[in-house]
Structure 1
Amino acid sequence: MDESQHSHSATGTLARASMADAVRFTGKVVLPMLAGGLIARRPRAMAAIERWQLDRTAVAALQRLRRRYGPGPLRLRVAGRSLVLLLAPADVQHVLAESPEPFTPASREKVGALAHFQPHGLLISRGNVRTQRRHFNETVLEADRPLHRLSESVLAKTRAEFGLVSEDAGSAGHLDWEMFSTGWWRTIRRITLGDGARDAENVTDLLGSIRADANWAYLRAARTGLRHRFLRELRTHIDAAESDSLAALLRETPAEQGVDRHGQVPHWLFAFDAAAIVAFRALALLATHPQQARQARAELAGLDLSRPQELPYLRACLLESVRLWPTTPAVLRQNITAIPWHGRMIPSGTSFLVFTPFFHRDRQTVPHAHEFAPDIWLDGRAADHPALVPFSDGAARCPGRNLVLFVAGTVLATLLQRHRFHLRAPARLDADHPLPFSLNNYGLDFAVEPIPR
């Protein structure tokens, strides 16, 4: 690829940050991200991040860097590593569009973390084996279909489990994270591993333990014994899964020798964990924004919810939840060859960082940055902002996007159909004021009011 192709973005030259600015960036952006847990969230740290609104501090730090150095990519030294920080939407679009080559998603940092529990996962694969794994994942997850072929089964399982959650919440008079996540994981195990795995908490608990290690990436040695135990348990459920599960499709789908069918499933479970956070935060938004709640209920009115529905407005609410509070704050790429870009030669092995909260919550590029505005995902406005990437973008876009949105949308529909929810904690969510930069999903608690029938 020649220099002209790498220099189409007119956002300025590639500047280098001072050592002092690199240190400030590390303290205000990198360390809070690591503290919160990039692979497995740490509830106490998330509570502290919300209390001190550290995402607001991080976004302000990047805005300061943009004012000082301009909107072009910025080179920094972080923990001895060369990093290019992207500060312009055009550069984000460029880097994501040219993945996996020359900008591979399998960055050194990502490999160090994800190899703890998915050493053969798609996100940390390169070359021909990545192409094979990408095709396999897209085939099983049906990346391009709004409704998966298993949507009737997925719908029935989701409605059954969250019907129970709704009943329990109605009896208790409230809904908290523990109640929600218990129902969520029963649902996901049934969808992914089959009905026989509904109560197989040991599988997801083992994965949780390994993901906690993965937060430390290369700084903590992989517990291979624990990983092998997890993969054995996982394989047992996959091999026994009923025909209406993703595991059954995984068994039946042709795969090249290097794909490792079973090795793709840990990332599916990992992604569904983030989706739970997204859905619970979306419920908090609907509980505190009466106009949007009315629109959501209007979408559900008259629908036969026992049949698969796309529910575009609820999907838009979920996308807004991710925009406002990204579950993947750091989108990383690494160039696999030296490339000329913005007037400089970038050595191979350089990491490129897209800090998504900066682009999602920056008024300079998104006028409604701090508002709950699901309509932008329906009227085309979101498409005008190439750095709004709730599920990444380009060739590395999440292949399970539509399936995740279908499950989460069905969860919201099931809950909203039966009850009204009033957010008790935190009280700072308010339709009349800018939304907070940080929101701790573990601290959300709703009062529940039955809807008269």
Structure 2
Amino acid sequence: MAGGVIKRRPAVLGVAGKLQLDRPAVRLLRRLRERHYGRPLRLRVPGRSVELALSGADVKRVLAGAPTPFSPSTVEKRAALGHFQPHGVLISGPADRPARRAFTEAVLQPGRPLHELAAPFAQAIAEEAAALRRETTLDWDTFTVTWWRVVRRVVLGSAARDDATLTDQLGRLRLDANWAYLHPKRKRLREEFKRRLTEHLDRAEPGSLAAVIAAEDTENTASAPDQVAHWLFAFDAAGMATFRTLAVLASHPAEQERAREEIDGTGPAQLSFLRACVLESVRLWPTTPMLLRETTEETSWGPAGTTVLIFTPFFHRDPELPYADRFEPDLWLDGRAAENPALVPFSAGPAICPGRDLVQFCASTMLANLLRGHRFEPVAGPVLSPERPLPATLDNFHLKLGLVG
């Protein structure tokens, strides 16, 4: 929580990385699971009904039960996301959610490994990645500037490439959102952010998601700025996952070489192994450490309004898993991950992230462009060796990689 649920705080995450705070959390939940035989555990939260899931079967049941009786719109999310996207699909009520979800899926096209605009997206990524390949070392600050240029081009068009003010405004709103209902809303800043975002959307630049939105002739385009604000927010986590994937590949020469062998062209491609590497990075270091659901009616979990908490690091790093602390991307290719309902890098069920395929495409394409003709090796940061258990908490803000060749 201190590290920032909606926007990460680098200083706090740096401390969390040094102390490896996820490790004792996983051990604690393992003890609780054994003590309570895997049954849900009611937490003592004054004035609230909160249940902690402790089994993979319960994770599957809860996530499959969206939006009723397990709604993704919880009191915590409404308070937090209301700072910058009060009409976003994730916190929409039952009357608005179906149409907004359908609109989001129509634009983001989940289920398609290659979006209809994969070609212009791949070109934008290649152009931006070229600047990074001219660096001798690559750190987070350098990478994230380029990543946000890619994101703005993909979502809003090339005219938005250098509009760092837009994402800076969103960043400030997201920092407020970390405090949820404990921080007053900056209405003026949100309106300025929305105005700026709407100007980019109204331009509907060909080759961008804004153009796809403009082609969606539905009443839900009115809430488009809020949906796009969420996509921009989610792409921040995607950048973290991409940089962490590059870092772990830099420390795993065999996997890095295998990824390089998959790169055989400059156009859009599915890049199955690199996608698996991204998924494995998110398994090892979930960008959404807590999945929350709120019951819409009385269930076996408690009365209506009960919050169900799924702590993903526990299920992704369960010590009973033979691959818990090692980098094993083949999990996502040979069916083992599909057999484990608790491995949920993009959530699961009807409320699964609708941008999952687009994110994997952008991340794997960025990695392909960086690895083409180059190798990376670690320069600074935690040890990510294949010869020892990988760290439970990974601070991406202080990683540094060297380019070789």
Match of 1:359 in 2: 315
Deviations 1:36-85 (A, max 9, x none): 10000000000000000001011111112112222011111235422100
**Counterpart among 47, 50, 73 of residue 40 in structure 2:** 73
Question: Contact conserved, 1:255 with 1:261, CA < 8 A, in 2?
Answer: no
- What one-letter code is carried by the residue in structure 2 that aligns with 1:304? G
Summarize the alignment of residues 200-349 of structure 1 with structure 2, pairs less than 5 Å apart. 200-256=163-219, 260-300=223-263, 303-305=264-266, 307-340=267-300, 346-349=302-305
Q: Aligned partners of 2:240 and 2:271: how far apart in 1?
A: 19
2:13–2:395: 8 Å Cα contact kept in structure 1?
A: yes
C-alpha distance in structure 2 between counterparts of 1:283 and 1:337, whole Å: 44
Deviation at 1:144, TM superposition (A): 1.7
Aligned pairs (5 A) from 1:61-100: 61-78=28-45, 80-100=47-67
* Contact kept in structure 2, 1:203 and 1:230, CA below 8 Å: yes
Output one character per residue of 1:3-25: Cα deviation in whole Å (capped at 9) or x when no partner: xxxxxxxxxxxxxxxxxxxxxxx
Q: Deviations over 1:189-239 (max 9, x none)?
A: 011111100000000000000000000001111111111110001001111
| 1:377 match | 332
The residue aligned with 2:348 is: 393
The one-letter code matched in structure 2 to 1:249 is V
The structural deviation recorded for 1:294 is: 1.7
Equivalent residue for 1:137? 104
Letter in 2 for 1:350: T
- TM-score, normalised to structure 2, is 0.98
2:401 is aligned with 1:449 = no
> What letter is aligned with 1:99?
A
Superposed CA RMSD: 1.1
Structure 1 partner of 2:115: 148
Q: Which amino acid aligns with 1:121?
A: G
Match of 1:54 among 21, 25, 30: 21
**Unaligned segments of structure 1, at least 5 residues:** 1-33
Deviation track 1:352-379 (CA, whole Å, cap 9, x = no partner) reads 0000000000122x22000100001000
Deviation track 1:252-305 (CA, whole Å, cap 9, x = no partner) reads 1122358612221000101100000000000011000111112111212xx222
TM-superposed CA distance for 1:426, in Å, is: 1.5
Per-residue deviation, residues 321-360 of structure 1 (Å, max 9, x unmatched): 000000000000000111235xxxx111010000000000
Q: Displacement, 1:418?
A: 2.9
- Larger deviation, residues 422-431 vs 120-129: 422-431
Name the amino acid aligned to 2:324: A
Helix, strand or coil at the partner of 2:49: strand
Counterpart residue identity of residue 292, structure 1? E
SS at match of 2:95: helix
Please give the TM-score of this superposition, normalised by the length of structure 1.
0.88
Q: Distance in 1 between matches of 2:183 and 2:254?
A: 48
SS in 1 for 2:2: helix
1:435 matched to 2:405: no
The equivalent of 1:118 in structure 2 is 85
Residue 74 of structure 2 aligns with which residue? 107
Residues 65/142 of structure 1: CA separation in 2 closer, same or farther (3 Å cut) = same
Percentage of identical aligned residues: 51
Match of 1:38 in 2: 5
Match of 2:162 in 1: 199
Q: Distance in 2 between matches of 1:340 and 1:279?
A: 39
Q: Distance in 2 between matches of 1:420 and 1:258?
A: 43
Contact 1:107 1:334 in 2 (8 A): yes
- Name the stretch that deviates more: 277-286 or 120-129: 120-129
Aligned length: 405
- Taking a change above 3 Å as real, the CA distance of residues 50 and 257 of structure 1, as seen in their structure-2 partners, is closer
* Distance of aligned partners of 1:258 and 1:276 in 2 relative to their CA distance in 1, 3 Å threshold: closer
SS at match of 1:424: strand
Equivalent in the alignment of 2:147: 184
Q: Kindly indicate whether the alpha-carbon contact (under 8 Å) linking 1:104 and 1:336 is maintained by their aligned counterparts in 2.
A: yes
